[in-house]
Amino acid sequence: MAVHEGHRQRLRAHLVEGGLDSFSDVQTLELLLGYAIARKDVNPLAHALLNKFGSLPNVLDASIQELQAVPGIGENAAVLLSLLPQLARRYAIAKNQVGTILDTTDKVGNYLVPFFLDATEEQVYLLCLDAKCKVLDCRKLFNGCVNTVAVSVRRVMEEALRHSASSVVLAHNHVSGLALPSREDEDTTRTVRNALETVGIVLFDHIIVAGGDFVSMAQSGMMARL
């Protein structure tokens, strides 16, 4: 036990001195597991997790059930590991409070990317802005592929009108890892834009997110061609 405790103390000292950027993936998992598993050498468990899931991001994206399938990983450790991506997402979103001015495409895209950080399925968000491009609201409207919006335009319009938005941004993610707009994305954009125009609200952009990247349909010129 003393040997393990000494190793954990050295890891913490290493963290204080050099930060997490100085850690390997194994050391990062060792540090985390040390807070959930007492009186045990967690180095073999860190290696086992990386061997099973292939990378640190894959470990942290795994479900609690998948993590517990690794021998030696109990509920406490699984919950701690699975909590981290959710915590990172909440932190990133909390930094972008209502009232933020989003007057460029880059600002809009960077604001929206954190909402999809831990998404394992397609999701659709609506960002409402006032006449000065100040954030009024941003909320998830749907789970599932974006073409569900085509049959739920009423929900989009209700949210935009409820917040007295001057303009809105539609955003969804591609879990495939490619942020390129599809034909369905184009059809949905046209449908939503035309419906919003009838009530005097501008569809400012449609942002497609994949991982930490995004594509703006307005910036790319696609919306102008619809």
pLDDT score of 3: 47
Given a cut of 50, the residues of the chain with pLDDT beneath it are: 1-3, 149-151
Neighbours of 58 (CB within 10 A): 13
Considering only CA atoms, which of 159, 170, 115, 104 is closest in space to residue 136? 159
* pLDDT tens figures, 58-109: 999 999 999 999 999 999 999 999 999 888 888 877 776 767 899 999 999 9
> What domains are defined for the chain?
2-93 (1.10.150), 97-225 (3.40.140.10)
pLDDT score of 4: 58
Q: How far is the C-alpha of 209 from the C-alpha of 171, rounded, in Å? A: 7
